[in-house]
Amino acid sequence: MPDGVVIVGGGQAGFQAAASLRAEGYQEPITLIGDEPHPPYQRPPLSKAFVLGKQNQDQILLRPETYYRDHQIRWIPGERTMAIETCEHRVRLRGGAAIPYDSLVLALGARNRTLPLPGVAYLRTLAEAIEIKQRLEQANDVVIIGGGFIGLEIAASARTLGKSVTVVEVLPRLMARVVAPVVSDFFYRAHVSRGVEVLLNTRVREIRGGDAVLEDGSRRHGDLVVVGVGIVPNTELAAEAGLPVANGICVDEWLRTADERIYAIGDCAVYPSAYARSRVRLESVQNAVDQAVAVAKAIAGKGAPYRAVPWFWSDQFDLRLQMAGLPAGHDQMVVRGEPESGKFSVFYFRQGRLCAVDSVNRPADHLAARKLIASGAPVNPQQAADESFSLKIS
């Protein structure tokens, strides 16, 4: 009897791999192993709708528990995979059970990067979101350490709830690693205008008596202090099995590891992108879903090299930031629209070719950018900056 597919990781990527295998007509056994006790759920609402009380736990589930039974997906919750026994083609669980596989999909995700500060909260899992939601209800003053997507989304949610909010960012601008200065400046002004205190070039030295003590000795009181300073890919299981890792589990353009039976997808995988000059590891729902679909097709015998255009989004207050492509290595950028209007886009070019677009409240630009980047259709900086020029591909 075939052993089928074992998927380690019950997040977006793991769930999508299982669902897509069945959608592709795969008939063999599928086992989905997750280390959390909950069925797979959506992470994006955790920093927004969930903590705001607009969505409850059931509403963020990717599917109800009955889905797994109805689709003959063996779901094992609350279980940690301790080892991959590659020679025997099986995984060993914490409880000692061994589960054999014909193909193994590693959707191991990532974990929070932590700081040596006591009493702070992090947001990655549903359990952490529940804690933050409960603490927010009692808090008056909230301190956010980190001015990236998660930090700013939580800041926006806390401020929407009427809390006093301070964001502390060690770099000279917000979201500095992923967006252009004009976008950073826009979101800085947007948060400040809504009552958020934003401290740039600032580091929290320690937490003392409920206060965040800054490097200059000043303090910001925090009934709740949330840290959002990035994530670390979970690669240990793969490394212990002898699979190559380098800021992620190394895979080829087919998302296969050095072991042809083993694939890696989502936040934990580093792959050769057609839209970058180097291997990349992407942290996004789109990447997790698209890679899961690609792996399911490969296992079902319908595979093709992974070529999806990366795209991302972040909702803060009533602002939606949407990003398409990868701007690394760009040598020119132009702005389409006026930032003062609250609706504009930044087009990035690398050697005259469009490589990425950031859009604020301009969804049409975002959709056009994804098509332009995927097709390689020519558009030059002058055209991109000219709002009278149509971005639609004829």
Strands (E), 94-130: 98-100, 103-106, 110-112, 121-122
Cβ neighbours for 377, distance < 8 A, ≥ 6 positions apart: 371, 393
Residues in the chain: 394
pLDDT at 111: 97
Question: What are the percentages of helix, strand and coil residues in the chain, rounded to 5?
Answer: 25, 30, 45
**Assigned CATH for 318-385:** 3.30.390.30
Q: What are phi and psi of 76, to 5 degrees?
A: -115, 105
Helical segments of 213-260, H only: 236-240
Where exactly does CATH 3.30.390.30 map onto the chain? Answer: 318-385
Cα separation, 160 vs 178, in Å, equals 25
Q: What is the DSSP code (8-state) at residue 308?
A: P
Amino acid at position 247, single letter: N
pLDDT along the chain (394 residues), means of 10: 95 98 98 97 97 97 97 97 98 96 98 96 98 97 98 98 98 96 98 98 95 97 97 98 98 97 98 90 97 98 93 97 95 97 97 96 97 94 96 83
Cα separation, 135 vs 87, in Å, equals 47
Q: pTM to 2 decimals?
A: 0.96
Yes or no: say if 51 and 327 are a contact pair by the CB < 8 Å rule. no
Where exactly does CATH 3.50.50.60 map onto the chain? Answer: 5-111+231-299, 114-227
Domain 5-111+231-299 has CATH 3.50.50.60: yes
Give Dmax (Cα) for the chain: 66
Identify any residues that bridge with 277 across adjacent strands, giving them in sequence order: none
pLDDT at 122: 98
Q: Which two tokens stand for residue 35?
A: 């280390």
Q: How many CB atoms lie within 10 A of CB 273?
A: 22
Q: How many CB atoms lie within 10 A of CB 199?
A: 18
pLDDT at 393: 82
CATH topology of domain 114-227: FAD/NAD(P)-binding domain (3.50.50)
Cβ neighbours for 236, distance < 8 A, ≥ 6 positions apart: none
Q: Which two tokens stand for residue 56?
A: 């409850």
Cα separation, 204 vs 226, in Å, equals 12
